[in-house]
Structure 1
Amino acid sequence: MTAPNLSANLLVELFVEELPPKALKKLGDAFATTLANSLKNAGLAPSTAAVTAYASPRRLAAHVTDVAAVAADKPVVQKLMPVAVGLDATGNATPALLKKLAALGADAAAVASLRRENDGKAEVLFYDSLAKGATLAEGLQKAIEAALAALPIPKVMTYQLADGWSSVNFVRPAHALLALHGNEVVPVSVLGLNSGRQTHGHRFEAAVDPVIIANADSYPETLLRNGSVIASFAERKAEIARQLAAAAAQAGADLKPIEDDALLDEVTALVERPNVLIGQFEEEFLAVPQECLILTMKANQKYFPLLDTAGTLTNKFLVVSNIRPEDASAVIGGNERVVRPRLADAKFFFDQDRKKSLESRLPGLAKVVYHNKLGTQGERVQRVAAIARAIADELGGGELTKQAEQAALLAKADLLTDMVGEFPELQGIMGRYYAQHDGLPAEVADAIEDHYKPRFAGDSLPRSRVGVVVALADKLETLAGMFGIGQIPTGDKDPFALRRHALGVIRMLAENDLALPLDRLLNGVFAQFTGVDGFQANPAALSAFIYERLAGNLREQGYSAQEVDAVVSQQPQRLGDIPKRLAAVRAFSALPEAAALAAANKRVGNILKKIEGTVEARVDPALFVEAAETALHAALVEVVPQADAAFDTGDYTQSLTALAALRAPVDAFFDGVMVNADDPALRANRQGLLAKLHAAMNKVADISRLQ
C-alpha cells in the first residue's frame, strides 16, 4: 500500500468509444500535458515530473511520475490594512481588523502575531499563515476536469448516462475511468463515472475483460498482455512502420510503401493491435493515372500503395488491419473486394473525361461562380490569360507568350471533369493528363499542373518558364482581386491563403531572377479588373503586403532583422537582386567603417527629413567655404562613379564596399561644417551635398538601419 504522505507514480485513463482518428494524437498529448501541468501547479507533482501520454482509438491516458498524496502546506502572506486603521490608540484591534481576520478564519488571538511592515506609504499589518496542501483526490479531480475542458475537441456530442435522466457533453461516450496512485485507486469522478482500476482491451482479441490494472507502472504491459492493445501512440506508430517495411519487402524486393506521415498517423489512430497484410488489384487499373489510384486508396480505404524503385505504382497495396486471425485470407479478400469498385470508378471517370477536350469545356466555366464580387471562373480565366500574356511578353514573347496564354486559358478547365469533381485534390494534375491526351505541347500540359505551385512552404516551383508565367499570373490575379474587394488578411484570418500566394510570387520572382519590376507588374495586374463593379485598385497596399511577407521569409532564412530592414525598406523592384543585396550588406557590416557610416547616414536622413520640400542633390563647388565640405565633395566625385559602376553590373558588395572611403571626409564634415548656415545659398548647397551623399549611401540598402 502507498503511504499517504509519500510520492508514487500516477496513471489516469479515460476509456471511451472510438475517438476521431485525425484528432487522436492531439487529444492524447493535450490530455496528458494539461493534467500534469495542473498537478504541478497544485504542488502535487514536481516540475521535473516525467509525463507519458497514451492514446488509442478507445482511450486517453497519462502517466505522471513522483506525484504526492498530499501537497505541501504553502505559506500565505495576507496584506490587511494600515496600522492606523487596524489598531486604536491603545494598540487594541479595531472592529474593522477583527472583521477582516474573521473572514480569513482567525480571531482576536491572532492580533499579537500580526507583522508590521512599511509598504512605502504607511505602516501596514500583514497576517502570515499556512494554507493546507491539497490532497491528491482534490487536486486530481480538478486536474481531470481541466484536462477535459482543454481538449481540442473537433465536435462535441451529447449523450445520456446510465441513470436514464442525466446527460453530458464530450467528444465520444465515456465508459470507464481509471485512476491509480501507485497501487491505490484515487477516488475521483467525471462524466458520470467513478474511478477504479478496471479498463477494457481490444474489442475482439482481449485475453480477459475487463482488464485489471494492478498499479500505475504496469499499465502498458498489462494492457498489451491481457488486452492486446499497444497503448502508446508512438509505439503503435513505430510498430506499423516496421510491419509496413517488412510486408513491402515480402511483396517484392524492390517495393516500398508510399511515404505519408499524415496517413500513418491516421491509421495509428484507427487500430489498437496493428497487423499489416498484403493485397492486390487487377493490373488493368494501372492504365489510370497513378495519382487517382493512390488518392482513392489513401483517402477512402486508408491503404498504403506499393511503389517500385522508380516511384511507379504497382498493383499491390498494404492494409493495416486491427485483428490477427490465423488465416488472414478472408480479411485480405474483403479489402480487395472493397477497393475494386473504387478503382473501377476512377477508371470510369478517366475514360469519360477523355471523351471531351479541355478546350471544349471552356464555355462551361462561364457558369461556375468564382466570387460573387469578381465574377465567374470564365471571367477569371480571361484575366489570368491576359496577365500571363503580358508577363510572357516582358520575358521575351514569341513561343513563350503563345504557350503561356494557351495554358492559362485551359488551366481551370479540369474543374469541370468528373475526376476532379470526385477528387478536388487532383485539380491541375488531371488537367495535365487530359492536355497530353488532347495532343498539346508538353510545356502547356506541365504548366496546367504546375500553375498551382508552390502549394505550400518548401514545395517545388513550376518546372518550366511557361509554368512559372502561368503560376505568377494565377497568384497575382488572386491577390489583386481580393485586395481590390477589401479581402485583406488580418491577424490569423486568411481565408483565401493570400499570404501563401504572396510567398509563391516572391519565390518565383526571386529564385528565377525574373526581370520583372514588382510595381510595374502589380499595376498591370490591377488594370485587368477594369469594369468590375465596386473594385478598387490598390497596388500600393498589395506591394506593402508582398514586401512584408518577403521580410518575414528572409528572417526565417536566418538573416538578421537589421540586414532585412536595410534591404527591404528600399523596396527593390527586382526581387532576384535581394540575395545579392543581403550578401553585400553582410559584407559591409564587417568593415571597420560600417558603424560610423551607418550612424552618419542616419544623421543625414534626419537632417533631410526636417527640411520642407524636396532637397535636390545639386552642388555648386564655388559656394564651398570650409575645407571639409570641399573634401567630402571630392570624395563623392571619386567614390560615387565607382559605386554606381559596380551597382550597374550587379556587384552590390563592391558598390557598398566602395563607400568605406567616405568615412573620414564624412566625419570631418560633421565635425567642422554647420549645415544650416544663415546664408540661404550656402545652406541650400550644403543640404544638396548631403542629399547627394544620402543617395549614394542608400542605393543598395538603407545602411542607417545597420546601427
Structure 2
Amino acid sequence: MTNHTASLLVELFVEELPPKALRTLGESFARVLADQLREQGLVEADAVLTPYASPRRLAAHLSAVRARADDRAVQLKLMPVAVGLDAQGQPTPALLKKLASLGVDTADTTAVLARLRRQPDGKAESLYWDSVVAGATLQAGLQKALDEALRRLPIPKVMTYQLADGWSSVHFVRPAHALVALHGDQVVPVQALGLTAGRHTHGHRFEAVGDPIELPHADAYADVLRREGAVIASFAERRAEIARQLAEAAGRVGGGCRPIEDEALLDEVTALVERPNVLVCQFDPAFLEVPQECLILTMKANQKYFPLLDAQGRLTNRFLVVSNITPDDPSAVVTGNERVVRPRLADARFFYDQDRKRPLESRVLGLAKVVYHNQLGTQGERVERVAAIARAIAARLGDEALVRLADRAALLAKADLLTDMVGEFPELQGTMGRYYALHDGEDARVADAIEDHYKPRFAGDELPRNPVGLCVALADKLETLVGLFGIGSLPTGDKDPYALRRHALGVVRMLIERDLPLELPALIDAAVPVFGERIRDPREALTAFIYDRLAVNLREQGYRAQEVDAVLSLRPAQLREVPRRLVAVRAFADLPEAPALAAANKRVGNILRKADGTVPAAVDPALLREPAEQALHQALLAVQPAADAAYEAGDYTGSLQRLAALKAPVDAFFDGVMVNADDAALRANRLGLLTLLHRAMNRVADLARLAA
C-alpha cells in the first residue's frame, strides 16, 4: 500500500440506539476514533473530523488520513553501564538477554558494541540502543482505534446477543449488523463485534431506493445515504432540519404560533428519525380547560410532540409531529397521531377533575404516611419543620400577615404530592398545587408560593415571585440542607444525590438577588432546633459549604479569585452585601496605593499572629515615641471616622478608598519603627496601633488576600 492520504469513513450499522444517549454516543465514537489515529501518526495536522449519528448508525468521517505512519526513531534505555558491560568492556549476559528480547542479533558482539551508546544518567552512565520503529499501517492502526472507540463508548445499558454462528456472544449497546471502513475508495478490512468491514450499508427502513447501499468512496457517504438511503446521517444537520421544519409549520398555522422550546426534546426526536417530516395535528379544544402544563407535559413526555403556543405563550389545540416517513398523502399519519393523543389528554383531564374533588388541605394529613428519609422522618414531619422555619424567616422580613401567609403556604406546599396528577407526572409538583389552591379559594400569594417554593430549580431559573414564596423557598432549602448535613449525608466529588449544591446556590441567589436583610448564620440557627434530637450540629460544615458554593458561583460570574477570597474570608453575614463589597475591592485594587497597602496589611497580620495572646486595639499616645508611629496614629484618627461612616452607610467603595491616605504613613512606620521593641510597654503599644490599623483596613474585605 503506497503511503498516500485520503479521507477515512468508518460506520457501524446497528439496531435502533437509545435516543437519549445517541448524541453522546456519536460524538464519543468519532472523537475517540480520531484521537487514537492521531496518536499513531496516521492523521495529518489539518484533518477535519465529522461525526455522524442516526437512529441506526454511528459513523465518523476524517479527512487527510495516511495509509501508513512515518517510521520513528526510538531511543531505548537498556541498563547502567556497570551492569551491561564487564571489566573488559564486553557485553554481559544480562545485556545480551535484554537485546535478544528486543529482536537484536547478538551473535556479533563487536557489531553490538558499535551500536551501543553510553550517556550520563544522573550520577552514573547508562547504555542506550537506538532503533527505528516502523510506522503503523492504517489497517493495524484503525483496528486499534476502533477497538478503543467501542470500548470507551458511554453505553447507558449493555445488552448481550449471539452472533450468527450460534456460539459467540457479543456485549454492546444494540446488535450490530454491518461495518464500513473506507480509505478513499479502498476497503480497510478491520473487524469489530463479529463483523468484517466492507463498503455496504443500509438506508431508511421504508424509503431507501434500494438495499443494501454501496458506498463508492469515503467522501460520498453523506450524499449517497441522503440520495439512495433517504437518511440524513448527520445528527447536527438533522436537528437543524427539524428546527427549520418546526418553525415553518408553525408559520403555516399562523396567529403568531410557535413550537414550544425544549432542547432536550429536540435532541431526543432527532435521535428517533432518519429523515424528518413535520406535520401539523390538532386535538379537541375542550381539553384546553385542563392546565396547559399538564397537556404540554403529556404531549412531550409520552408522545414526543411539539405543542404549539400562541403569541401570548398560551397553549393552542395544535401540535407538531416529527414523522420518520414522507407519504404523498400524510392524512393517515396525522389522524393516527390525533387518535393516539386523545386518550392521553383524556387521562390528564380525568386526573385534574378527580384531584379537584378534594381540597389540598385534606391531603396534608396523608403526608404523615409518606416516608421522606429514614433518619429524618415523614413528609408530614418535614412540612412541620419547613413551616416553623418559614414563620421565623417571615417574622424577620415582615409583619404578622406575612407570617400567617408563609405558614399557610408551607402547610400546603407538599400536599399535591398525593394528587393523581403529580403521581402520574412528578415534574408537575408545585405547579398543580398552585392550581388546586386557587380552585380551593386560597390567597393568590399562597398559591404562587406553593409553586415557587421549589425555585430556583436549576441554574438560571427564576426566583419566587413574592415574599411569601421567598420565605417558604428559603425554609424548604434550609430544611433540606440542615437535615442532610445533620445526618452526615454530604455531597462527595461529582455525587450529589440530594442536589445540595443546587439548594445552597438557591439560598445564595435569593438572599443576594432579592436583597434580603437576613443573616446566613441566623437562618441556619433558626433551622437547626426544628429537628430536635434527630441530627448532629451541622452549623460549621454547612456554613462553610454555602460560602464555598457562593465562591464558585462568583468566580463563574467573572470575579477574580483574589477578590472573592478577600471578601468571603470575612464571612459577611448578610450575603446581599457581597456584590457591593466585590465592587469596592475591585475599585480599591485599581488604586496606585493598593499593592503597597495590601502587602503592608499582610505584614501586619503576620506580626499580630505571632504576638503572644490577643492584642487589645488600644493606643496610649504618651508611649508613641517615634515620629513615624505618631504620624500613623494621627493618620488613623483622621481617616478612620470617615471610612467607618462610609462603611456603616453601605458605601464600601468609599470606605476602602479613604484608606489610600494611609499608604505613606504606613510605609514610613515600617521603615522607621521597630515593632518588637525591647521595652514591653512600647512593644504592646505598637502592637495595639497595628491592631487598630488592621481592623480599620479589613472591615470590607481581607486586603491581605490581594497581595501578590
TM range (shorter): over 0.9
Structure 1 residue 484 displacement after superposition: 0.6
CA distance in 1, matches of 2:80, 2:483: 66
The one-letter code sitting in structure 2 at the alignment partner of 1:567 is V
Who is 2:415 aligned against? 413
Query: Do 2:255 and 2:310's aligned partners in 1 also have CA atoms closer than 8 Å?
Result: no
CA distance in 1, matches of 2:67, 2:475: 66
CA deviations on 1:237-291 (whole Å, 9 max, x unpaired) are 1111111111111122421111111101100000001111111000000000000
Q: Residues 611, 188 of structure 1: CA spacing in aligned structure 2 closer, same or farther, 3 A cutoff?
A: same
2:61 counterpart (38, 46, 63): 63
The one-letter code sitting in structure 1 at the alignment partner of 2:260 is I
CA distance in 2, matches of 1:369, 1:84: 73
CA distance in 2, matches of 1:97, 1:390: 81
Query: Do 1:388 and 1:470's aligned partners in 2 also have CA atoms closer than 8 Å?
Result: yes
1:27 counterpart (21, 25, 28): 25
Who is 1:72 aligned against? 70
Does residue 511 (structure 1) correspond to residue 513 (structure 2)? The answer is yes
Superposition TM-score, scaled by structure 1 size = 0.98
CA distance in 1, matches of 2:305, 2:435: 24
Structure 1 residue 118 displacement after superposition: 2.3
Structure 1 residue 90 displacement after superposition: 4.5
Structure 1 residue 91 displacement after superposition: 4.1
CA deviations on 1:504-561 (whole Å, 9 max, x unpaired) are 00010011111111111111111211143xx112212111111111111111111111
Does residue 686 (structure 1) correspond to residue 686 (structure 2)? The answer is yes
Q: Secondary structure at the match of 2:699?
A: coil
Who is 1:482 aligned against? 484
CA distance in 2, matches of 1:632, 1:341: 83
The one-letter code sitting in structure 1 at the alignment partner of 2:626 is E
Alignment of 1:538-557 (within 5 A): 538-557=538-557
Alignment of 1:496-507 (within 5 A): 496-507=498-509
1:171 counterpart (153, 165, 173): 173
CA distance in 1, matches of 2:56, 2:478: 47
CA distance in 1, matches of 2:533, 2:362: 27
The one-letter code sitting in structure 2 at the alignment partner of 1:290 is Q
Who is 2:493 aligned against? 491
Q: Secondary structure at the match of 1:133?
A: coil
The one-letter code sitting in structure 1 at the alignment partner of 2:573 is Q
Alignment of 1:525-544 (within 5 A): 525-532=527-534, 535-544=535-544
CA distance in 2, matches of 1:100, 1:566: 59
Unpaired runs of 5+ in structure 2? none
Structure 1 residue 68 displacement after superposition: 1.2
Query: Do 2:184 and 2:217's aligned partners in 1 also have CA atoms closer than 8 Å?
Result: yes
Query: Do 2:282 and 2:317's aligned partners in 1 also have CA atoms closer than 8 Å?
Result: yes
Who is 2:272 aligned against? 270
Alignment of 1:280-429 (within 5 A): 280-429=282-431
1:97 counterpart (95, 98, 101): 95
Does residue 13 (structure 1) correspond to residue 15 (structure 2)? The answer is no
Query: Do 1:9 and 1:181's aligned partners in 2 also have CA atoms closer than 8 Å?
Result: yes
1:36 counterpart (34, 37, 42): 34
Structure 1 residue 679 displacement after superposition: 2.2
CA distance in 2, matches of 1:252, 1:82: 83
Who is 1:570 aligned against? 570
Does residue 638 (structure 1) correspond to residue 638 (structure 2)? The answer is yes
CA distance in 2, matches of 1:161, 1:155: 19
Unpaired runs of 5+ in structure 1? none
CA distance in 1, matches of 2:178, 2:215: 13
Query: Do 1:382 and 1:409's aligned partners in 2 also have CA atoms closer than 8 Å?
Result: yes
CA deviations on 1:463-491 (whole Å, 9 max, x unpaired) are 11111111001001100001110111121
Who is 1:665 aligned against? 665
CA distance in 2, matches of 1:187, 1:666: 78
Query: Do 2:279 and 2:320's aligned partners in 1 also have CA atoms closer than 8 Å?
Result: yes
Structure 1 residue 84 displacement after superposition: 4.1
CA distance in 2, matches of 1:232, 1:194: 24
Q: Secondary structure at the match of 1:38?
A: helix
CA distance in 2, matches of 1:91, 1:112: 12
After superposition, the CA RMSD in angstroms is: 1.2
Query: Do 1:643 and 1:655's aligned partners in 2 also have CA atoms closer than 8 Å?
Result: yes
CA deviations on 1:487-509 (whole Å, 9 max, x unpaired) are 11121121111010000000100
Q: Residues 485, 82 of structure 1: CA spacing in aligned structure 2 closer, same or farther, 3 A cutoff?
A: closer
Structure 1 residue 441 displacement after superposition: 1.3
CA distance in 2, matches of 1:656, 1:86: 70
Structure 1 residue 116 displacement after superposition: 2.5
Structure 1 residue 188 displacement after superposition: 0.9
Alignment of 1:590-669 (within 5 A): 590-669=590-669
Structure 1 residue 114 displacement after superposition: 2.0
Superposition TM-score, scaled by structure 2 size = 0.98
Q: Secondary structure at the match of 2:181?
A: strand
Who is 1:430 aligned against? 432
CA distance in 2, matches of 1:379, 1:88: 83
CA distance in 2, matches of 1:458, 1:692: 43
Who is 2:212 aligned against? 210
The one-letter code sitting in structure 2 at the alignment partner of 1:97 is L
CA distance in 1, matches of 2:665, 2:520: 37
Structure 1 residue 615 displacement after superposition: 1.4
Who is 2:79 aligned against? 81
Query: Do 1:98 and 1:107's aligned partners in 2 also have CA atoms closer than 8 Å?
Result: no
Alignment of 1:131-170 (within 5 A): 131-170=133-172
Q: Secondary structure at the match of 2:6?
A: strand
Who is 2:587 aligned against? 587
CA distance in 2, matches of 1:541, 1:488: 10
Query: Do 1:392 and 1:401's aligned partners in 2 also have CA atoms closer than 8 Å?
Result: yes
CA distance in 2, matches of 1:648, 1:450: 34
The one-letter code sitting in structure 2 at the alignment partner of 1:591 is L
Moved more, 549-558 or 84-93: 84-93
CA distance in 1, matches of 2:701, 2:577: 11
